[in-house]
Chains A and B, each alone.
Chain A
Amino acid sequence: MGDYPSSSTDATAGGSGVTGRHARSAGTGVSPSSYEPPIGGGDGLPKKARFSMESGFRGLSTAAGAMVLVIIVAIAIFLISKAVPALRADTVNFLSYKQWFPNDTDPKFGIAALAFGTVLSSVIALIVAVPIALGIALFLSHYAPKRLANPLGFVIDLLAAVPSVVFGLWGRDVFMEPVRDFSVWLNKYFSWIPLFGGDGPFGRSILLGSLVLAIMVLPIVTSLSREVFQQTPGMNEEAALALGATKWEMIRTAVLPYGKPGVIAAVMLGLGRALGETIALALTLGTVFAISFNVIENGGNSIAANIANTFGEANATGRGALIASGLVLFAITLVVNMAARAIIYRRREFRDSAA
């Protein structure tokens, strides 16, 4: 290794002293006369360390990545292995039957009404929540003064921290009254629209469940959308303004198109939460097994709420049936997610080329 070790000893010796910088530069062999390649010398290249931070970290991150797959597969196996025997025992068509009697000696149960209720309540929740959430997000990111935007954003994030059982109880004991009054009003003036028809009783309806869900998904959609709106490049906003755009036109030209994929992702996360929401819906829906577009009459049910409501008294077939319904919920969520990805993917070319 020639002179190299000795000069490096010098460097270490002076390292803590005042001459540290100078000594170190000598140690790395900058001066041409004493230069030796720091690796190898004449004895060939040094061997690579067999165990190092590098391979250790790579192993850890690979394991973490693989774990996701393992968990997904394990869940799938669990759901399928429990669901299949129950589905075999089912004496009616699982996909089209509306009632839920899996604990009888002749088990009869079907997913139709539950899946319908799940999707309907989630869709209404999004229809209500998304415009409001986008409005709040735009207000916070582009209209509100910073002094107001930060505390308000914090309050909205706080809303996301409220446990869903609290939302459910509040919805059942407090929010139901105004929703019932509103339903009666809707029924009085708009009963010609099938959504608002019927003769009552009103209150514990899809509408109540959906509105509670809307409040629950509002903070997710708001804070994610706000985040993407804030990331709009300033130079694109300025470009729009310099073309003579008003503030709203600037938002339409620069901010909304730029944020669209992020907003879609936010909406899908909100939809995911709405579809999977259990306890709030179990407390607010009327637990009726029927397919009806009437949103104000007592009624409605969802897959997750049904699992929560009936799991306690279920026998082995009953539990299997509930797990089968969980599998359907899983499939619905999967389809929704894939649809969202497809929407984002379609305009990918425009995203990737953006600087």
Chain B
Amino acid sequence: MAKRIEASNVSSYYGSFKAIDSISMTVEPKTITALIGPSGCGKSTFLRSINRMHEVLPNARIEGRLTIDEQNIYDPDVDVTAVRRLIGMVFQRPNPFPTMSIYENVVAGLKLNGVKKKSALDDAAEQSLKSANLWNEVKDRLNRPGAGLSGGQQQRLCIARTIAVEPQVVLMDEPCSALDPISTLAIEDLMFKLKDRFTIIIVTHNMQQAARVSDKTGFFSIDKTGDPGRLIEYDDTQKIFSNPTQKKTEDYITGRFG
């Protein structure tokens, strides 16, 4: 169910602008990896490079090598939609499809993959919503619009939608930044639960959150605006937050900059 992600010397560009420079890291299966760092340092760009969402933007391209269990994600023969099915993504702002009901939202990915049987869809919807800790709150109103839920519920709905297609890896791009502390806690609990089945990579601005949920932490930074982001330090979360090797990391986590 979960797979290893390896990046070696990944650089991503927007046109001629280099957003990240030579990132190399290995993410082990069934772990939570947090990416932290100041705004504009390329965490999200790196995350979007992993499931090839980076190239959706005009003139975006990457260099270097990204693999999932030794298979090259950027192999020209690889079907990009298959990559995205394998590596799901949860976005910063909850983005349920506004025209769809809760149920339709959860099974949207399955329908895209050609699952038509009603019973299979029903099962998947129930399982995914249960996994996302949302089932009890919505089971009586599955046909109501998904956009009518609260922000935290919407984000859990989006997580349910992402895990319904049974990906190997789940990428989360600041999933709690638009949510209140209680909803944030609900999502964090959920991450622990999902760790048994998925490899999770989460971008967060909240250092406490990184310290709470992740096994490994990568610290990104830039020297100055316009420079590409670099991976300064990547290690066990405990080490990063107690005894970082790099001065820059220490300055950031102790709140001296950023």
Contacts and interface: CB of A to CB of B under 8 A. Distances in A.
> What DSSP secondary structure best describes chain B's contact surface?
mixed
A178 B85 CA distance: 50
Contacts of B98: 233, 236, 258, 350-351, 353-355
Contact of B147 (A244, A253, A354): A354
A246 B161 CA distance: 17
Nearest to B89: A242
Interface in A256-290: 257-258, 260
A349 interface: yes
Interface in A41-83: none
B40 interface: no
Nearest to B101: A350
A349 B81 contact: no
A347 interface: yes
A174 interface: no
A349 B98 CA distance: 10
Contacts of B82: 244
B109 A243 contact: yes
A243 B95 contact: no
Contacts of A249: 112
Contact of A243 (B100, B101, B112, B147): B112
A242 B147 CA distance: 19
A235 B95 contact: yes
B213 to A, nearest CB: 21
Contact of A254 (B91, B97, B161): B97
A238 interface: yes
> What DSSP secondary structure best describes chain A's contact surface?
helix
B97 A244 contact: no
A235 B173 CA distance: 12
Interface residues of A, number: 25
A245 interface: yes
B50 to A, nearest CB: 11
Interface string B79-90: 001101100110
A239 interface: yes
Interface in B209-224: none
Interface string A229-253: 0000101101111111110010001
B88 A353 contact: no
B199 interface: no
B108 A244 contact: no
B33 interface: no
B190 interface: no
Contacts of A238: 53, 56, 91, 95
Contacts of A253: 97, 108, 112
B91 A257 contact: no
B226 interface: no
Given A233-B95, A354-B99, A354-B147, A240 B108 contact: yes
B109 A244 contact: yes
25 contacts: A235-B93, A235-B95, A236-B97, A238-B91, A239-B91, A239-B96, A239-B97, A239-B158, A240-B97, A240-B108, A242-B89, A243-B84, A243-B85, A243-B161, A244-B82, A244-B85, A244-B113, A245-B112, A253-B112, A257-B100, A349-B148, A350-B99, A350-B100, A351-B99, A353-B98
Interface of B: 51, 53, 56, 81-82, 84-85, 88-89, 91, 93, 95-101, 108-109, 112-113, 145, 147-148, 158, 161-162, 165
